[in-house]
Amino acid sequence: MAIETKVYKHLEDSAIAELGARLRDGQLVAIPTETVYGLGANGFDEEAMSRIYEAKGRPSDNPLILHVPDQEAVKPLVTAIPLTAQKLMDAFWPGPLTIIMPKSDKVPMRATGGLDSVAIRCPAHDICRAILKAAGVPVAAPSANISGRPSPTTADAVLHDMKGRIEAIADAGPCDVGVESTIVECGDDSVTILRPGGITDAMLKRVVSTVNYDEALSAPDVAPKAPGMKYKHYSPDGDMTTYVGAPRLVSQAMIDAMEAIKAEPHDKPLRFGFLMSDEVAQFLDIYLSSSDVPFEYVIYGNAADYRGLAHNLYSSLLAFNKAGVTHIFATGVPMQGLGRAIMNRMAKASAQKIVRVTGKP
Ligand code: TXA
Ligand code: MG
């Protein structure tokens, strides 16, 4: 049976208290964070967490991240805080960094998918932390989308997927970062990145001597240490290809691909979607102005604007879904800094169709 989903747009103190109480009482509440919207439930309540899996259609072996308002709230959740974890919390919290720690008996197995470790993060979002504080319990929250679809960075996107499945949404406007947190496992003065995100390897290197990446991030046949990384993810409805290289070459490769698609037989009308930098947009301008195929586009900023691309990635894919786009042409970025996180998500959204265009720029 569908339940009523209340959207809170005015997040004054009384609303925050109400949202906190809903979470504590076992209801599902979508919460804003600086990365993406989360689908929150009481992290001590097995039944509430089971409802997360149901609402998302999430595979049950995929553990959840517990969200806390401050470092103090970590203590009951872990058997010990490793020294490296302490340094990371001091340096990057609140912020888009999830730290894997040894779990205490207070954390139900439902939260960790049977693992003896727990993922914990403190978001850099004032309203989020106020709701967490009001809840008074750790809040388990995966991204607030149906599993496999692009993650929501606006309350509207949450509503689209979760209407009738959850009790409430706290609408605090669009998320800043746009891609999920970095997940790390701690070693002795070292970390392993299980999922790249808003905190980059260079930032982590300021705090620990060694930063490794989970082997599975570059070897598709190796089992990832973060169970969720093995699943299909972020998939738009349209067939997406990501292009990386000099803007002129990228735009030419896109034009060639479009011409090839137009020449093939297709059973439904074509509609193209472009997620592109200013530079690629300039090169495509003339071609598109005489296009006989209808199209949608998002221009995210200049070619080196990783933050702009991260911020616009999921919302563009969802806008293309809404418009019924059949083929998506996206401009990727080099694998540096935030580019790692972006390309990790774009590769999945594109079902690994990444075209690296080389030649004279
Ligand atoms: O930015 C974010 O992290 C967002 C916002 C809402 O905070 N949350 C998010 O959650 O991305 P989700 O559920 O979509 O991704 C959680 C990831 C999964 O890949 C899961 O396998 C991994 O964290 N994970 C959770 N607990 C783990 C553990 N104990 N060990 C290894 N990986 C873990
Ligand atoms: Mg997710």
Give the tens place of pLDDT for each residue, 53-91: 999 999 888 999 999 999 999 999 999 999 999 999 999
Q: How far is CA 26 from CA 42, 156, 291, in A?
A: 6, 23, 52
Residue nearest to atom 33 of ligand 1 (CA): 226
Longest dimension (CA), the chain: 64
Our answer on whether the CB atom of 118 is closer than 6 Å to any ligand 1 atom is: yes
Q: What is the CA(57)–ligand 2 centre distance, in A?
A: 12
pLDDT of 60: 86
Our answer on whether the CB atom of 226 is closer than 6 Å to any ligand 1 atom is: yes
**CA nearest neighbour of 341 among 332, 350, 353:** 332
Task: Determine the distance from the C-alpha atom of residue 99 to the mean position of all C-alpha atoms in its chain, rounded to a whole number.
Answer: 16
Supply the pTM of this predicted model.
Answer: 0.96
Our answer on whether the CB atom of 180 is closer than 6 Å to any ligand 1 atom is: yes
Contact 10, 172 (CB under 8 A): no
Q: Nearest ligand to the C-alpha of residue 150?
A: 2
DSSP assignment letter at 154: S
Residue 24 marked as a ligand binder = no
Site to substitute for ligand 1 among 149, 180, 186, most atoms within 8 A of C-beta: 180
Band of pLDDT at residue 3, cut at 50, 70 and 90: very high
Contact 117, 103 (CB under 8 A): yes
pLDDT of 233: 83
Distance CA 242, CA 189 (A): 36
Band of pLDDT at residue 232, cut at 50, 70 and 90: confident
Which of 102-111, 160-169, 220-229 bottoms out in mean pLDDT, i.e. has the lowest?
220-229
Residue carrying the six token digits 């439904």: 268
Q: What is the pLDDT of residues 238-251, one digit of tens each?
A: 999 999 999 999 99
Shortest-distance atom of ligand 1 to CA 111: 26
Backbone angles phi, psi at 86, to 5 degrees: -60, -45
Our answer on whether the CB atom of 183 is closer than 6 Å to any ligand 1 atom is: yes
Band of pLDDT at residue 1, cut at 50, 70 and 90: low
pLDDT of 262: 96
Q: What is the 3-state secondary structure (H, E, C) of 178-192?
A: CCCCEEEEEECCEEE
pLDDT at 360 exceeding the cut of 90? no
Shortest-distance atom of ligand 1 to CA 181: 1
Backbone angles phi, psi at 6, to 5 degrees: -90, 125
Residue 213 marked as a ligand binder = no
Shortest-distance atom of ligand 1 to CA 96: 1
Domains and their CATH numbers in the chain? 6-218 (3.90.870.10), 239-357 (3.40.50.11030)
Our answer on whether the CB atom of 64 is closer than 6 Å to any ligand 1 atom is: yes
User: Before 138, cis peptide (omega within 30)?
Assistant: no
* Residues sharing a CB contact under 8 Å with residue 157, sequence separation 6 or more, in sequence order: 37, 145, 150, 314, 315, 318
pLDDT at 290 exceeding the cut of 70? yes
Q: Nearest ligand to the C-alpha of residue 109?
A: 1
pLDDT of 207: 98
The letter for the amino acid at 260 is A
* 168 vs 230, more confident: 168
Q: What is the CA(49)–ligand 2 centre distance, in A?
A: 15
pLDDT of 343: 96
Strand order in the sheet with 38-42: 6-8, 168-170, 29-31, 38-42, 139-140, 65-67, 117-121, 97-102, 182-187, 190-195, 210-213
pLDDT of 30: 98
